[in-house]
Structure 1
Amino acid sequence: MPRPRTPLSSYGRISVDAVEYVEGESRRRLVVVKTPEKRHGYWRARTRYRFPSGKLRQVERFDVSAAKAEAALRKALTSIQESTRSEVKRETRMQDLGARFLASKANRAPRTVEGYRDLIERVINPRIGDLAISEVTAERLQRLLDVIVEESGTGTAKNTRAVLSGIMGLAVRSDAMERNPVRDLAPIEGKRVGAKPVPLGDLPGILEAVSGDKQLRIQDMADLVEFIAGTGVRISEAIDLDGPDVGITAPAGIPTIGAVVTVRKSKTDAGVRRLTVPSSVAVMLAARPLGEGPLFPTPLGKRRDRNNTSADWQEARERLELGEYSFHSFRKTVATALDQAGLSARDIAEYLGHTDPHVTMRTYMSKTVGGSRAAEALDLAMHVRQV
């Protein structure tokens, strides 16, 4: 039976011999001393290392004792392995492969990469980050996803599966695996449960509770919640806004303040838009400092993190017993208010920054309307209790 080949980027058995040079006819030769106690030379430690190219080459080191020679050789082998560690091998750990995957996605949208990183660091690495690629089987991944479905729901499980597929695909393309094991996993079943919209009749009461909460005021969260409830923007869009993105207007002959907000960073191209906001939101914005920094910063003046901000809102709504309404709930409520006010589907899509399903509308219709009819309808929804 043939001897198995030495794996790439690894070495075989280390042999240590006493050696000395002897004079030959034309040159000195290195020979092994059969009786080490009588030697007059050095000790040699050697082995054969298989480089990523597949070639086997002998590596050896000399020193005055067997232990020192072997230590010198092992140190040299470590240096060789470190110089080739950028290669993806079967022994590569999942957390290292995940870091390489993130680096390969550097040209994606920052929020997309942030989502990948969050799943890798929060969900994948704590569970299988120390496994070698060769240890990642379909059975292990299936158990992992089953646990994620149980603990975090089908949405997180599906996103995790997508990231795992990308990570393991990188291993396949690097010849560290023959087949992507994610392809053999069972479909993730479960009805997708979206955000629960805030009933229009409950919206004024919720905003009143938010405005009067001392903790939300300390966190400078009350204005952010009012802004999202009055415009339906995504939380990521709101925290990406800067002061110069707001234009305050005071039309002649009209005693109210107006405001136009330019959303520059969004999930889709259709999301880049200008919004005329409800008058109450305009008054709130006019009272805020509109400097060069974030429009809704943290108490320390930094740009908010989406996950931390969502967690703060969850804590607040549970403390105030406001119901299971996420930031996206307000977005659905805005859509409902605009629909009941008689706005067309196109107007609503443009106000919310949705990608229009019709190619003509998506390509040729303006994405900067967000006009006064929408703002007036939202003012009514935010401040008039329905009976």
Structure 2
Amino acid sequence: MPRPPLPIGDHGHISRRQTTPGHWVASCRVRDSDGHARQVTAAGDTGAKAERALVASLKDRARGASGTSGEITADSTVADLADAWMAERVLAGKLDKQTHDRDESLVRTKIVPHLGRRKLREVTPGSVDRLLRAVSATTPTQARKAQTVLKGMFTMAVRLDAIRSSPTRDLGALPTPPKKAVRALAVDERQAARQAIQTWRTAPDEDGHKPPGPRPTDLLADYLDLSLGTGIRIAEVLGLLWSDLDLDATSPTLELTGTLVQRKGEGLVRKPKLKGKYGYRVIYLPPFAVETLKRRLAARRPGETRVFATREGTYVSPNNVRRQWRAVRAGAGLEWVTPHTFRKTVATHLEAGAGLEAASQQLGHGNKTITATYYVEAKPRVAPDMAELLEELAPPALTVYSPLSTESDAEPPKQPER
């Protein structure tokens, strides 16, 4: 009976022999990726050195079987796979800089510390599940993103024949944190927010002294007006250009063409690509937002292309606006309000007045379910008026006897029939 062939990539028994004094040769047969078995040799001063050289040569051969030095095999580590997966996505043009930085951070801080040194053949569904649950215990959102990254990595490993099946295929569902109820600003709360901004950094302290620091600008008040007047995200508001606006039209509009992102090694930059398929859109502006923009236009520095610019002529950071808003809301009863609350307020107001479809289009969502679930404040459902119909279920009228009635007034008891 013929001997069964070696599995692809495996080698047979290593033998070594001395050819001349001080010269040893180690050899074995290895079955390459094309299915052919070939003799491989290596030499050394001793038999042990020759064998170690052959083993190293076999590893290099396995890594370079496809003509590249970075082939992924079952003996590759998870860290090697992560590098190959990231590099492949960049070469395919499927990854922008911001997403690359986010995924690279996930790999470096969450995945590699737990699994990085494991060989792919050693990774089990249990080991991946333990990793994800450990991350989920502190940062549930990061755990879900790490699960997506791991699925992409091991799908690549299966495609390259490094492993037979992905260890992410049989994972259990991650714990889902309870969803917070959507809350929008009521009329009095919107007024309280504007009033809090007006008094911010101008009201004296308990000793009657004005707080130190530079004089406040109208940045925060104008941001609030544009956020409530459009429903766009904070990074989109602060990334507006004057060329995006048509303020002199019969119906003034805003054409959304970009957003601000923080990129590693570059800082804060404007990215022309918007979030989601329906992010690029034209928005009609209400009069109060037009008034705010025209005032800023009249006060802008010559040649300034940004609607919101720092004193140095750079983009205003969303983090700076968030920090200012935290200072404003403290003590104003608005501690629960974030810049994203303004976007939810717009969605809730439009849904009530124009319907869910209009609210979804204003926010740039491709799915009305997202708008309804995460942006519109839920209101109690009003059941149809069934009061008249339900009255038919009332009990029959009963005779009521007064406690002051005399025995003679009472109806005599009926005699039993004989």
Query: Does structure 1 residue 262 correspond to structure 2 residue 256?
Result: yes
Task: Select the residue among 139, 144, 159 that pairs with 1:173.
Answer: 159
Q: Please point out which of 122, 126, 140 is paired with 2:113.
A: 126
Q: Report deviation, 1:19.
A: 0.9
Once residues 365 and 99 of structure 2 are traced to their aligned partners in structure 1, the CA distance between those partners, rounded to angstroms, is 18
State how far apart, in whole Å, the 2-side matches of 1:108 and 1:186 are.
28
Q: What is the TM-score of this pair, normalised by structure 2?
A: 0.59
Q: How much has 1:124 moved relative to structure 2?
A: 2.6
1:185 matched to 2:179? The reply is: no
Q: Contact 1:195–1:329 at 8 Å: present in 2 too?
A: no
Shift of 1:328: 2.8
Equivalent residue for 2:281, pick from 273, 281, 290: 273
1:233 and 2:220 aligned: no
In structure 1, what residue type is equivalent to 2:256?
T
Higher helix proportion (structure 1 or 2) = 1
- Aligned-residue sequence identity (percent) comes to 26
| Distance (whole Å) between structure 2 residues aligned to residue 332 and residue 297 of structure 1 | 26
> Within 5 Å, which residues of 2 pair with 1:309-348?
309=318, 321=330, 323-339=335-351, 342-348=353-359
Change (3 A) 1:353 1:134: same
Query: Aligned equivalents of 1:280 and 1:318: distance in 2?
Result: 26
Structure 2 residue runs of 5 or longer lacking an equivalent are 202-212, 259-272, 370-418
Task: State the 1:15 CA deviation.
Answer: 4.9
Counterpart of 2:232, as a letter, is: V
Alignment of 1:71-82 (within 5 A): 73=54, 76-77=57-58, 79-82=60-63
How far has the Cα of 1:91 moved from its partner? 1.9
Cross-structure match for 1:151: 138
**Superposition deviation, residue 42 in structure 1:** 3.6
Deviation by residue 1:135-163 (Cα, 9 ceiling, x = unmatched): 2212122222222332113x443333333
Deviations 1:316-346 (A, max 9, x none): 5555535244443221112223345x34444
Give the RMSD, CA atoms, in angstroms. Answer: 4.7
Alignment match of 1:83 (pick from 34, 43, 64): 64
Distance 2:122 2:179 in 1: 34
CA–CA distance in structure 2, aligned partners of residues 43 and 356 of structure 1: 70
* Inter-partner Cα distance in structure 2 for 1:50 and 1:185: 34
2:363 is matched with 352
Counterparts in 2 of 1:188 and 1:216: CA distance versus 1, 3 Å: farther
In 2, the alpha carbon distance for the partners of 1:300 and 1:58 equals: 69
The CA deviation at 1:94 is 2.0
Paired amino acid for 1:282? L
Check if 1:137 corresponds to 2:118.
no
Query: Against the structure 1 CA distance between its residues 317 and 349, is the aligned structure 2 distance closer, same or farther, given a 3 Å change threshold?
Result: same
Q: Deviations over 1:221-275 (max 9, x none)?
A: 8866664454221345456x463642253469x9xxx663433533333321112
1:248–1:282: 8 Å Cα contact kept in structure 2?
Answer: no
Please tell me whether the aligned partners of residues 63 and 72 of structure 2 are also in contact (alpha carbons under 8 angstroms): no
The SS at the match of 1:179 is coil
CA distance in 2, matches of 1:120, 1:291: 43
Helix, strand or coil at the partner of 1:178: coil
Q: Which residue of 2 aligns with 1:28?
A: none
Separation in 2, partners of 1:313, 1:196 = 22
Instruction: Give the whole-Å Cα distance in 1 for the aligned partners of 2:215 and 2:116.
Output: 37
Q: Give the secondary-structure state (helix, strand or coil) at the position aligned to 1:162.
A: helix
3-state SS in 2 of match to 1:17: strand
**What does residue 18 of structure 1 align with?**
18
- Structure 2 contact 228–343 (Cα < 8 Å) conserved: yes
What's the counterpart of residue 247 of structure 1? 245
The structure whose Rg is larger is 2
Q: 1:251 to 1:156 in 2, by over 3 A?
A: same
**Counterparts in 2 of 1:129 and 1:195: CA distance versus 1, 3 Å:** farther
| Contact 1:196–1:324 (CA under 8 A) maintained in structure 2 | no
Confirm or deny: 8 A CA contact 1:12 1:48 kept in the other structure: yes
Q: 1:292 to 1:355 in 2, by over 3 A?
A: farther
Which residue does 1:202 correspond to in 2? 189
Offset at residue 301 of structure 1 (A): 7.1
Cα shift at 1:109: 6.5
Call closer, same or farther: CA 1:173–1:66 in 2, change over 3 Å.
closer
TM-score between both structures, scaled by the size of structure 1: 0.63
CA pair 178-109 structure 1, distance change in 2 beyond 3 A: closer
Q: Distance in 2 between matches of 1:121 and 1:298?
A: 34
Question: Which structure 1 segments of 5+ residues have no match?
Answer: 21-38, 359-387
* Aligned equivalent of 1:93: 77
Secondary structure in 1 matching 2:245: strand
**Greater relative contact order (Cα < 8 A, sep 6+):** 1
Separation in 2, partners of 1:314, 1:345: 28
Secondary structure of the corresponding residue to residue 137 of structure 2 = helix
1:43 aligns with 2:21: no
Change (3 A) 1:171 1:302: farther
Distance 1:183 1:71 in 2: 37
The size of the alignment, in residue pairs, is 325
1:332 aligned partner, one-letter code: K
**Would the alpha carbon gap of residues 98 and 68 (structure 1) be closer, same or farther in structure 2, given more than 3 Å must change?**
closer
